[in-house]
Homo-oligomer: A and B are copies of this chain.
Amino acid sequence: MAKKEKQFVEEITKMEDDFAQWYTDVIVKTDMVDYAPVKGFMVIKPYGFAIWEKIREYVDRRLKETGHKNMYFPILIPESLLNKEEEHVEGFAPEVAWVTQGGNKVLEERLAVRPTSETIICNMYAKWLNSYRQLPFLYNQWNSVVRWEKTTRPFLRTSEFLWHEGHTIHETAKEALDETLMIINMYVDLVEDILAMPVIPGKKSQSEKFAGADDTYTIEAMMKDGKALQSGTSHYLGQNFGKAFNITFSDRNGNLEYPYYTTWAVSTRLIGGLIMVHSDNRGLVLPPKMAPTQVVIVPIAANKDGVMEEANKIFDDLKARRISVEIDDRDNYSPGYKFNDAEMKGIPVRVEIGPRDIENNQALLFRRDELSKSEASLDNIGQTISDLLEDIQSNMLEKARKNRDERIYHAENMDEFVDIIENKHGFAKVMWKDNAENEAKIKELTGATLRVIPFEQEELGETCFYTGEKADYMAIFAKAY
């Protein structure tokens, strides 16, 4: 009658064989996530949630340092409010979950489970704002949103996800634009410095921007299968919402004006990106700054004299350095099992220490990013490990950048473009003449979309690769999640 216990580390599908299945195996078998009883929804388990908490702590700290404050707006939005900004409702209405009954009563008006909070926030800002002296409003909230999706994949696209959403209003267009750009640059810091994911920051085309925005700024990352992941966005919405919701203030001359609005977000989607940029066929590879456990110590022959003592010494040394460390002293698993388990979980450094190591005054250090082992003297092992963690953090970013740069190709014509997208599985950088219809045609033909107009422009030529007309700018196209 007894249930079975797992006594082996489960196999992960190879990413070369089936990238999608590899991804699913990694997130499910490392206990990051599970499927919820409602289709398209996910349960984020402690190991996945600990990663989200690190993202959250970083962003929350940076936002507070730059004068932003947190608030909380209700989860339910009346349909009439959602309908007030025309482009916005067109973008979101098809994805809304509707509450139609409260307690035993059928509601007179349907209520949307928030797909995003612009409409309810603008409704309140209109009530609160009177004078230019109150501006800017620099507010943010952490919550979950619901968007009814047909095809879902945990972290990447789910019917509910966690995020933060910033909503600021400003006296002038310039201030609002500065805010939009400050935030997208903060996201670059987050994703590159902490998640070790190289990104290309820039602007979206008009057809790819947020529903209701004047301009959307984005950071785009490349996954190991060559697809793009939009990893964070910051929107400049001008006065559109101000006008739709009648948000006004007395300006410095006593005239009524509409404020300029910005919104921005990163979400649990980033965790999906983190996995698809770094991980491998053994499982997760986590950069030290994102790893819930940075170092695991595995004692070999733990019952032998001195082994546990030495393991505990290293543990205390690392703790004192504020390194997150665990000793795997489970007595019902073999060292081999523990090695595999720690590798699958992406723990950046593993320390192996047994009687023979102690005789030689050393321990073995295994680094997850390079799958390589080295010997380290016990004399200064705390410092050695601390340096190693820093090296892993920067190595992972550089390695990911190299992988990505090797797969960004310049396309001078449609043949080259199709080859890049369909055979080389990379990003196509092209000179581009702004044209929404042509974007749609390319999407239909190849599945690739205009991901970003990079801030850092290169002079690849003078004419649009698609039409031969004079080009407006360099753009990057790719297939995307």
| A contact face: mostly helix, strand, loop, or mixed | mixed
Number of chain copies forming the complex: 2
Q: A3-B256, A102-B148 are in contact. Are A120 and B72 (CB under 8 A)?
A: no
Which of B3, B102, B160 sits near A250, CB closer than 8 Å?
B3
Cα–Cα, bound, A100→B96 (Å): 11
CB-nearest residue of chain B to A144? B75
Q: A43-B73, A71-B43, A130-B5 are in contact. Are A143 and B144 (CB under 8 A)?
A: yes
Cα–Cα, bound, A162→B72 (Å): 9
Q: Are B131 and A5 in contact (CB under 8 A)?
A: yes
Q: Are A37 and B120 in contact (CB under 8 A)?
A: yes
Asked if A86 lies at the interface with its beta carbon under 8 angstroms from chain B, I say no
Chain B hits for A128, CB < 8 A: 34
Cα–Cα, bound, A185→B111 (Å): 39
Chain B hits for A103, CB < 8 A: 94-97, 148
Which of B43, B52, B127, B133 sits near A74, CB closer than 8 Å?
B43
Asked if A371 lies at the interface with its beta carbon under 8 angstroms from chain B, I say no
Chain A 53-86 interface residues, beta-carbon cutoff 8 Å to B: 53, 69-78, 81
CB-nearest residue of chain B to A255? B1
CB-nearest residue of chain B to A149? B103
List 20 additional A-B contacts (Cβ < 8 Å) besides A1-B256, A38-B111, A113-B113. A2-B254, A3-B256, A4-B130, A5-B131, A34-B127, A38-B77, A38-B78, A43-B72, A43-B74, A44-B71, A45-B71, A49-B69, A49-B71, A49-B72, A72-B144, A75-B144, A76-B113, A99-B113, A100-B101, A143-B144
Kindly list the 5 A-B residue pairs having the minimum CB-CB distance in the complex, ordered from nearest: A103-B148, A46-B69, A2-B250, A44-B72, A41-B74
Write 9 A-B pairs (CB below 8 A) sorted by A numbering: A5-B130, A34-B124, A44-B71, A49-B69, A49-B72, A94-B103, A99-B99, A100-B101, A102-B159
A interface list, Cβ under 8 A from B: 1-6, 34, 36-38, 41-46, 49-50, 52-53, 69-78, 81, 94-105, 110-111, 113, 120, 123-124, 127-128, 130-131, 133, 139, 143-144, 146, 148, 159-160, 162, 248-250, 254-256, 332
